[in-house]
Structure 1
């Protein structure tokens, strides 16, 4: 973290010209973690504390507190979620300022101790207070906080702060890490919950910059296919992951994907990833209904009865676990050489993108090192989609490499409609809110056309102005469209080359395997078998459950 925090004196002394200010102590440009100090009128709010080395921050906060009228460096702390880059500095912060209130969602408050596994958790007090979801709470006079589920990780929230004066109200939303798509164990952020907030300031992550990702299902299928090929080639697979989030998502993927269901295969889980699985089991009532329903019929993680078997790896077995093809999930900080031992393997080491994991150039046994994408953050289109739905006056980008954040701030669609900021650590950002500021208009999306019926052919003619939109190229990629009724309206959707290839592939592969795509109980991509753990839930065509019954020829 930079030694450039002198601006904190202004934010604490109340000398700024604006009712709203943001001072980033760290914006995770260099894996520092995220920590922001926000001022709304007289209120000082610390958002997240993910610094690995918090000594400089604590010294700066102590100086700020000594200059002010309060012994505390902020009025309270709000934590978006339990990942280390947002929460690992909390224990040091609490020890330095034990009276400083710290708040988070109920799930996050229970997951936070996993950031200090090396310490005796019995000696660590429960210093984080749980706040309810979707329920406004007044923490200071005139200052209300409300938490909304943000996807990404169980318990992750977007934080809405509303400061009300006699003249007006000010609204600021901090997304933390967010994900619009549903994943295996977390439902995505719901845009409909946040529309119409009349935001003044949006502080938003930009982890993936402007990059565009395939659909989440496609990402999962590509990863599952690579692991399947490795196992078929008598190769073991090593998956180093963080303790929370990705490791548990991978386990659910491996347990439910058609490449692995019912397969005589061992999946071993080691270290903090296994501890994270235990923590998830304690939070089962907070997980999505489909996951709870799954857990009623079979164990969520540890299961030696249903194939593939999922087991906790004991330390004495690490050196021999790869004697036959298997899958191992372990900590992203582990020394992978303790698994890649002589007379084991060969090994395929799969590294998740955007997570820095150290690997050796050479191991004791043949190894192949590759990377994969299984995103837990929204991509560029998802990020801009959230911004355009909220339409704030100011957009502040944090959490990402300087290059990726620069890509976002330079987008013309943002520059022309919002005040865009991407501050470095220690640089105070003033966020003036003018009474005459015009809220940006929603983008024009309506085009007038003509419809002509000619016998058995219907022609829809649209003006060429529609092609000026950046989305047109993707829509018209193949020249093929799909039409469906939505109430009284007819919705048109362009079919992409990737989708056509997937449809063609599914047509030939799904008939050869036991999966939801050829189950007699699957209709409209929903399961209608009361004996299935997926009953009444939407299913993917390549999914599988023990209640599978093959579709007969006369039923097709």
Structure 2
């Protein structure tokens, strides 16, 4: 056990669930860092629990030297407006790719979740951009340099979405001749994901703050998930229906496009099926992914070298305006043309996907395919849970019976599964003094904790695994 009171971590989110990531690393009683500052979503936006239903920043900021962003999903960055409103004016550190993606994420989140005011959103984004510093992976950045304390950090690839990282923070206490490395995992990516390499564990971690989203389950392998996706497409082709894929604009959408391009490349007869990207923000991020293609993995590079366009193939149709969206929706409802629609939001709690669901859930010709985590309390979770039994879901206060097919493809998750999380810890050369689990439901954290302890014992290691509170 650590005999020193610092460093220690205080959690302001992602403790009792999987959203609202925000952690404060206390280095001394008067020096700290923030790691992420995200929105709560789904059932985590209400009810009992520390920090839930709280958008305001209710902790003092006078000790905070910097904010480190592991990636740009809104459950990790969405509370920045409230952070700035609370007076935060220190540096915001991210990877180079995240720094490129962040302004578009913040502008959209502000206009949807705060106020639909373009000018105000632009001023807010400009205020964040003035504080934002982008860094290459592996680049050490000095955060505190004093005679009694030094602190530096670097980002390492997390394989979750483009630009995602885990943060390594080195702290030296010269008077005590003591050093500590604290690692925040952020969200770790799944093995075998398209476009990005899986994360490699750190060379050292005295304290590891580890996500546990899928700590209680294993993903399908890539061949299995592709085969299942292909089966759904075959069903749609036979039924003359639409496959609705609720997907987040960053990461999941691009992986799906990549996989669909591969399926259609290998099955020329399916090239009659349009793939409709009805999500303007996702279109913007897909263009940025193409700009950042030098960051793709070897498989993605090989497709490009072969003259293929994994994120811009011929069957891909992009819907921009609301009028175009309405025309496309009416066309798909009134005809028997099979199609794949990728649209947001990923948990079906907002955005254009709600219109597709209202129009199509009651028709057996259509299918809904979930490829990501559905937080409790969201319509996506309700459809996933009750749809296979012919249940219903409430959308905008109205009940809709679910007759469409409902499928969940766990292999497309952008999060590491239980095996990936265990391997990440096991492959750290020296076992961490403490592994603290965050960002997961209670069952996922409990199961992962048990499996981490068992794996450590089997490999003659003894990290102290605790569940954050």
- TM-score bracket for the superposition, by shorter chain length: 0.7 to 0.9
For residues 381-400 of structure 1, what are the structure 2 equivalents within 5 Å?
381-390=419-428, 391-400=431-440
Over aligned residue pairs, what C-alpha RMSD do you find? 2.8
Correspondence 1:85 to 2:69: no
Bigger drift between 410-419 and 235-244 goes to 410-419
TM-score, with normalisation over the residues of structure 2? 0.76
* CA contact 2:236–2:365 (8 Å) conserved in 1: no
* CA contact 2:262–2:310 (8 Å) conserved in 1: no
Change (3 A) 1:345 1:214: closer
Aligned twin of 2:387 = none
Deviations 1:269-297 (A, max 9, x none): 11233333233233333333543453462
Correspondence 1:404 to 2:422: no
- DSSP 3-state at the match of 1:280: helix
CA distance in 1, matches of 2:403, 2:467: 44
Aligned twin of 2:86 = 96
CA distance in 2, matches of 1:242, 1:100: 29
Give 1:29 shift. Answer: 2.7
CA distance in 1, matches of 2:363, 2:285: 27
* CA contact 1:254–1:260 (8 Å) conserved in 2: no
Matching residue within 117, 135, 150 for 1:131: 135
Correspondence 1:320 to 2:336: no
Give 1:101 shift. Answer: 1.3
- DSSP 3-state at the match of 1:383: helix
Give 1:418 shift. Answer: 1.5
Change (3 A) 1:394 1:261: farther
* CA contact 2:94–2:133 (8 Å) conserved in 1: yes
Change (3 A) 1:222 1:46: same
Change (3 A) 1:95 1:280: farther
- DSSP 3-state at the match of 1:183: coil
Change (3 A) 1:25 1:337: closer
Aligned residues: 393
Aligned twin of 1:422 = 467
* CA contact 1:94–1:100 (8 Å) conserved in 2: no
CA distance in 2, matches of 1:364, 1:160: 48
- DSSP 3-state at the match of 1:33: coil
Aligned twin of 2:210 = 204
Gaps of 5+ in 1: 1-15, 66-71, 425-556
Aligned twin of 2:27 = 40
Correspondence 1:106 to 2:96: yes
- DSSP 3-state at the match of 2:58: helix
Deviations 1:371-429 (A, max 9, x none): 221222111122111112221011010000011111222344267512122122xxxxx
- DSSP 3-state at the match of 1:75: strand
Aligned twin of 2:386 = none
Deviations 1:230-283 (A, max 9, x none): 323323211111111111111110111256456211110112333332332333
Matching residue within 374, 398, 405 for 1:368: 405
Bigger drift between 383-392 and 182-191 goes to 182-191
Matching residue within 223, 237, 240 for 1:217: 223
TM-score, with normalisation over the residues of structure 1? 0.65
* CA contact 1:319–1:338 (8 Å) conserved in 2: no
Aligned twin of 1:352 = 371
Gaps of 5+ in 2: 46-50, 384-391, 394-398
- DSSP 3-state at the match of 1:213: coil
Deviations 1:107-160 (A, max 9, x none): 111222324312535332113211221122212111111111010111010110
Deviations 1:497-527 (A, max 9, x none): xxxxxxxxxxxxxxxxxxxxxxxxxxxxxxx
Deviations 1:432-472 (A, max 9, x none): xxxxxxxxxxxxxxxxxxxxxxxxxxxxxxxxxxxxxxxxx
- DSSP 3-state at the match of 2:26: strand
Aligned twin of 1:29 = 16
* CA contact 2:275–2:341 (8 Å) conserved in 1: yes
CA distance in 2, matches of 1:330, 1:98: 34
Aligned twin of 1:188 = 198
CA distance in 1, matches of 2:310, 2:221: 25
Larger Cα Rg: Structure 1 or Structure 2? 1
For residues 236-315 of structure 1, what are the structure 2 equivalents within 5 Å?
236-257=242-263, 260-261=267-268, 263-271=271-279, 272-295=281-304, 297-304=307-314, 309-313=315-319, 314-315=324-325
CA distance in 2, matches of 1:89, 1:235: 39
* CA contact 1:180–1:190 (8 Å) conserved in 2: no
CA distance in 1, matches of 2:70, 2:194: 20
Higher RCO structure, 1 or 2 (CA under 8 Å, sep 6+): 2
CA distance in 2, matches of 1:27, 1:156: 17
CA distance in 2, matches of 1:214, 1:138: 41
CA distance in 2, matches of 1:186, 1:251: 14
